[in-house]
Amino acid sequence: MDDYIELNTFLKIHALAATGGQAKIAIRSGAVKVNGAVETQNKKKLREGDTVEFEGKKYSVSMKRQGA
């Protein structure tokens, strides 16, 4: 199983960034943490159970698909 979502896409899907450009700026500036560590890779692969922290809030990565 190789399900993942890229960090920039995760930020857009969860409305934490309005555009890909805004997501890239947030990530590259060090404003995003993955599993407690600052992450600056725009296309970092996130997997089920990872935690993303942005603007003081934590989000859990879930690969559950709607309708599945």
CATH number of 48's domain: 3.10.290.10
| Residue 68 located in a structural domain | no
In the chain, the number of structural domains is: 1
pTM of the predicted structure, to 2 decimals: 0.88
Please report the pLDDT score of residue 67 as a whole number: 52
Distance, in Å, from the CA atom of 28 to the CA atom of 40, rounded to the nearest integer, reads 5
- Which residues on neighbouring strands pair with residue 38, listed in sequence order? 33
3-state DSSP of the chain: CCCCEEHHHHHHHCCCCCCHHHHHHHHHCCCEEECCEECCCCCCEECCCCEEEECCEEEECCCCCCCC
| Residue 51 located in a structural domain | yes
Structural domain for 29, as ranges: 5-60
Please report the pLDDT score of residue 66 as a whole number: 53
- pLDDT tens digits for range 5-60: 999 999 999 999 999 999 999 999 999 999 999 999 999 999 999 999 999 999 99
What pLDDT band is residue 68 in, cutting at 50, 70 and 90? Answer: very low
